[in-house]
């Protein structure tokens, strides 16, 4: 309605009112105009519509006041206040942008054609933007062989303004999993991209990706031995370093030192003071994250020692060979190998003196150099997956299954040299333990195996000889229930060698040995009768 039309209508009403009759009824006054009563003006009704009232800045909202009504006239004025102290608006459908988080009260006041007004309000909530979560995970171990379990852990992931509601793993081989932690086994060697995606309570997501290396076989570490000098006087300090040592497919987790005089140390660097003149060999052994070990050594001279003349050793001459074929079971498979031994070598060992003396224990039976080549050949034929641990266990199965257990003749204590045990194909606990120790030592690990004298507290067996084999942390973690012993800060697993067939795994103890059952220990590389073994208490 235009202002002119409105003015004319008002003038018409004034004219008719001058001719109207005033009627008083029951004390109430009513105005009758041309037979009709005139009532008071009704105020308009304000209504607000919006395309959204909540969001993050900048939040743009389209407001709409066109649904406001006036029952006895028309709505002719709109006044908007947006609650942030900013500008107002007089249009029916204003658009407004909120730049900052907060709670804002929006007011619409409407005015009708008689000048009456009314208002209504709505609340706008502008929230702080949701920050995406940060995905973080670890994988242990970082490199595996096919079939080995990898433990994935995403507990280090975080969300600064809420919480993480979901975890999704993509292992890169077509498989996936849910949850904070997950385990997975890869069937085929290769490099896999592992992706972790986390979602928070506001549906924001974060992703991280890392490579997982799955290798066919574990490669042994490559130790580098650096010495401050190779010639020194008694009382001088020798400084040793493993700088430059590497592991081709993982990481080196431990370094072990042997100084040739019975002393040992651990760590990437070490130092030692020799008190006695002589010639010594310093050995460094590196252990990687898969338990593989590799050693290297260097000779040093302390003072000006007189080199003793070694006793004469029978020298074998070329002659016919003795070939033996061995069969045993390991890992669910029937295995076999053939070994040829020089007849002269066998005869030379048969002619050597016998007996065990406290000053050297069984060490001379293990360390005699004549059979080094044969023991290395045997080790290579027992090699599994280029893995130290797998080969050590396969060698144990070989000694248990391929060498028949046979006691020495009554009244004769007759330790056999390894060559004799292999050719004869039989041996008692001493012979089998010596043979096993000879195989293990070819890995070059100076403290890799020890021979022990055991009293099993049994009516059937006493003064038993067995072996202890140095094991890495991964073996201890995987087999905490087995027979483990701590000697000079190193952990060893019990190895029972005297079986006739069958297989008793590394660390499996048929006797239930306790602390008092072990009477003596011989380190086959550094002979000693004073080593103290403590049984490891496991959960």
What pLDDT, on a 0 to 100 scale, did the predictor assign at position 321?
Answer: 86
Rounded Cα–Cα distance for residues 120 and 109 (Å): 7
Residue 164 has pLDDT above 80, yes or no: yes
Residue 1 has pLDDT above 50, yes or no: no
* Lowest pLDDT segment from 34-38, 352-356, 430-434, 527-531: 34-38
Instruction: Tell me what the pLDDT averaged over the chain comes to.
Output: 80
Residue 403 has pLDDT above 80, yes or no: yes
Tokens 């290395």 label which residue?
Answer: 376
pLDDT confidence tier of residue 366, bands split at 50, 70 and 90: confident
The first and second tokens of residue 34, run together, are 């041309």
What pLDDT, on a 0 to 100 scale, did the predictor assign at position 183?
Answer: 94
Residue 13 has pLDDT above 70, yes or no: no
What pLDDT, on a 0 to 100 scale, did the predictor assign at position 415?
Answer: 82
What pLDDT, on a 0 to 100 scale, did the predictor assign at position 526?
Answer: 64
pLDDT confidence tier of residue 154, bands split at 50, 70 and 90: very high
Peptide linkage before 141 cis (omega within 30 of 0): yes
Altogether, the residues listed in the chain come to a count of: 539
Q: Tell me the per-residue pLDDT of 471-519, one tens digit each, with 9 for 90 and over.
A: 877 778 888 888 888 887 788 888 888 875 567 888 888 777 777 777 6
What pLDDT, on a 0 to 100 scale, did the predictor assign at position 32?
Answer: 40
Residue 525 has pLDDT above 80, yes or no: no
| Domains delineated in the chain | 3-37 (no CATH), 49-126 (2.60.40.10), 138-214 (2.60.40.10), 226-302 (2.60.40.10), 321-535 (3.10.620)
Rounded Cα–Cα distance for residues 105 and 102 (Å): 10
pLDDT confidence tier of residue 537, bands split at 50, 70 and 90: low
* DSSP per-residue codes, 354-379: ---BTTTBTHHHHH-GGGHHHHHHHH
Rg (CA), the chain: 46
Rounded Cα–Cα distance for residues 297 and 224 (Å): 9
Q: Tell me the per-residue pLDDT of 265-300, one tens digit each, with 9 for 90 and over.
A: 999 999 999 999 988 989 888 888 877 788 888 889
* Lowest pLDDT segment from 17-31, 284-298, 340-354, 504-518: 17-31
The first and second tokens of residue 179, run together, are 């949850």
Q: Tell me the per-residue pLDDT of 411-467, one tens digit each, with 9 for 90 and over.
A: 556 788 899 999 988 888 888 888 988 888 887 654 456 667 666 554 444 567 888
What average pLDDT does this structure show over 197-223?
A: 86
What average pLDDT does this structure show over 350-366?
A: 67
CA 302-304-309 angle, 5° bins = 105
Peptide linkage before 139 cis (omega within 30 of 0): no
Residue 15 has pLDDT above 70, yes or no: no
Higher-pLDDT residue of 253 and 456 is 253
What pLDDT, on a 0 to 100 scale, did the predictor assign at position 444?
Answer: 62
What pLDDT, on a 0 to 100 scale, did the predictor assign at position 92?
Answer: 93
Taking the whole predicted model, whether its pTM rises above 0.75 is answered as no
Residue 208 has pLDDT above 70, yes or no: yes
What average pLDDT does this structure show over 353-370?
A: 67
* Lowest pLDDT segment from 46-60, 73-87, 322-336, 501-515: 501-515
Higher-pLDDT residue of 201 and 296 is 201
What average pLDDT does this structure show over 321-327?
A: 89
What pLDDT, on a 0 to 100 scale, did the predictor assign at position 441?
Answer: 82
Rounded Cα–Cα distance for residues 184 and 172 (Å): 11
The first and second tokens of residue 107, run together, are 């007011």
Rounded Cα–Cα distance for residues 142 and 150 (Å): 8
What pLDDT, on a 0 to 100 scale, did the predictor assign at position 8?
Answer: 41
Cβ neighbors of 497 (< 8 A, separation 6 or more) are 396, 399, 400, 429, 432, 433, 435, 436, 466, 467
């Amino acid at each position: 309605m235009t202002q002119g039309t409105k003015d004319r209508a008002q003038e018409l009403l004034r004219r008719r009112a001058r001719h109207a009759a005033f009627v008083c009824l029951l004390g109430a006054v009513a105005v009758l105009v041309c037979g009709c009563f005139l009532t008071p003006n009704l105020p308009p009704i304000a209504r607000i519509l919006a395309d959204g009232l909540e969001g993050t800045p900048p939040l743009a909202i389209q407001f709409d006041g066109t649904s406001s009504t006036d029952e006895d006239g028309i709505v002719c004025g709109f006044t908007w206040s947006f609650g942030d102290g900013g500008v107002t608006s007089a249009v029916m459908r204003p658009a407004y942008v909120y730049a900052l988080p907060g709670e804002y009260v929006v007011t619409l006041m409407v005015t009708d054609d008689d000048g009456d007004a009314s208002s209504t309000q709505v609340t706008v909530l502008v929230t702080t933007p949701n920050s995406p979560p940060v995905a973080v995970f670890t994988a242990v171990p970082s490199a595996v062989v096919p079939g080995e379990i990898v433990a994935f852990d995403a507990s280090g992931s975080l969300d600064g303004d809420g919480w993480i509601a979901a975890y999704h793993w993509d292992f890169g081989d077509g498989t996936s999993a849910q949850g904070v932690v997950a385990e997975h086994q890869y069937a085929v060697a290769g490099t896999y991209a592992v992706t972790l995606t986390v979602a928070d309570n506001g549906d924001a997501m974060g992703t991280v990706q890392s490579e997982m290396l799955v290798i066919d076989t574990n490669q042994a570490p490559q130790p580098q031995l650096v010495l401050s000098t190779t010639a020194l006087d008694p009382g001088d300090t020798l400084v040793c370093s493993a700088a430059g040592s590497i592991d081709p497919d993982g990481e080196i987790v431990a370094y072990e030192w042997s100084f040739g005089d019975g002393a040992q140390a651990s760590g990437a660097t070490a130092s030692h003071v020799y008190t006695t003149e002589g010639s010594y060999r310093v050995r460094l052994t590196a252990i990687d994250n898969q338990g593989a070990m590799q050693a290297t050594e260097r000779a040093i001279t302390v003072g000006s020692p007189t080199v003793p003349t070694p006793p004469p050793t029978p020298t074998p001459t070329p002659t016919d060979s003795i070939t033996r074929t061995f069969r045993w079971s390991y890992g669910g498979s029937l295995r076999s190998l053939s070994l040829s031994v020089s007849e002269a070598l066998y005869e030379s060992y048969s002619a050597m003196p016998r007996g065990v003396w406290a000053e050297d224990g069984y060490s001379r039976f293990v360390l005699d150099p004549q059979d080094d080549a044969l023991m290395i050949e045997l080790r290579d034929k027992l090699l599994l997956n280029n893995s130290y641990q797998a080969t050590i266990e396969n060698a144990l199965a070989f000694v248990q299954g391929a060498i028949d257990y046979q006691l020495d003749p009554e009244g004769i204590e007759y330790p056999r040299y390894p060559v004799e045990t292999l050719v004869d194909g039989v041996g008692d606990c001493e012979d089998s333990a010596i043979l096993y120790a000879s195989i293990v030592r070819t890995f070059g690990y100076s403290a890799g195996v020890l021979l022990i004298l055991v009293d099993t507290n049994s009516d059937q067996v006493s003064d038993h000889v067995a072996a202890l084999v140095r094991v890495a942390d991964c073996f201890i973690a995987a087999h905490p229930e087995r027979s483990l012993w701590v000697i000079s800060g190193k952990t060893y697993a019990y190895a029972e060698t005297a079986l006739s067939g069958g297989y008793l795994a590394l660390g499996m103890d048929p006797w239930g040995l306790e602390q008092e059952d072990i009477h003596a220990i011989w380190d086959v590389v550094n002979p000693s009768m004073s080593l103290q073994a403590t049984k490891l208490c496991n959960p």
